[in-house]
């Protein structure tokens, strides 16, 4: 009789664990989630016309920091990328620019890598930036993963279209 009771107690413990796991899963699944939906990238024409800067750049430096944002008192992780201008097709005329990317869970921040060359579509930030060495960098921009920005080799076929758009301006 005691063996039968032990088996029932073990099954009861296993059942309780399964129910607890199910409740945790339901809670996690019921929390609202945000993610970046980049199923379709915009065309070259749309990207060129809706961004402040279109340029070919090389990322030379990454500066990471944790910054408090006053709106909703959220803390965000900000990465500032310092980039050397290879060729500006629209907007930027500085040799060096700063691109800031704010990271959230499921965000749309762009995944730059140092020493890589990119074709980027940028939006100008509404303020001036200083680098960590107090070097004044007057051109600060942001970029989205959902923009047409990409490693240059992957999108260099876009350049003839960009050149045509430059001539129309």
**pLDDT band of 103, cuts 50, 70, 90:** low
Model pLDDT, residue 101: 77
Contact between 97 and 124 under an 8 Å Cβ cutoff? The reply is: no
Mean of per-residue pLDDT scores for the chain: 76
Neighbours of 141 (CB within 10 A): 25
Environment class of 99 (CB within 10 Å of its CB; exposed 0-12, middle 13-18, buried 19+): buried
Q: Which of 1-10, 18-27, 91-100, 160-169 has the lowest mean pLDDT?
A: 1-10
Residue 127 corresponds to which tokens in the numbers above?
């303020």
Mean pLDDT, rounded, for 124-142: 58
- DSSP secondary structure, 77-139, as one string: EEEEEEEEEEEEEES---SEEEEEEEE-TT--B----TT-EEEEEEEE-SS-EE-TT--EE--
Contact (CB, 8 A) for 95 and 69: no
What is the Cα–Cα distance from 139 to 120, expressed in whole angstroms? 14
Report d(CA 34, CA 81) in Å as an integer.
24
Model pLDDT for residues 45-67, shown as the tens digit of each residue: 999 999 999 999 999 998 776 55
Model confidence at 143: pLDDT above 80: yes
> Is residue 39 predicted with pLDDT exceeding 80?
no
């Amino acid at each position: 009789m005691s063996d039968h009771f032990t088996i029932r107690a073990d099954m009861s413990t296993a059942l309780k664990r399964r129910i607890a796991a199910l409740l945790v899963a339901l809670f996690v699944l019921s929390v609202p989630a945000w993610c970046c939906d980049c199923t379709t990238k915009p065309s070259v024409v749309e990207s060129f016309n809706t961004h402040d800067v279109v340029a070919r750049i090389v990322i030379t430096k990454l500066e990471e920091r944790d910054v408090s944002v006053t709106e909703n008192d959220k803390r965000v992780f900000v990465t500032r990328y310092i980039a050397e201008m290879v060729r500006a097709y629209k907007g930027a005329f500085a040799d060096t620019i700063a691109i800031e990317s704010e990271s959230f869970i499921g965000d749309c921040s762009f995944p730059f890598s140092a020493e890589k060359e990119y074709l980027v579509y940028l939006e100008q930030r509404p303020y001036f930036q200083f680098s960590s060495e107090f070097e004044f960098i007057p051109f600060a921009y942001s970029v989205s993963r959902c923009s047409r920005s990409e490693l240059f080799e992957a999108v260099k076929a876009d350049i003839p279209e960009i050149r045509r758009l430059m001539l129309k301006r």
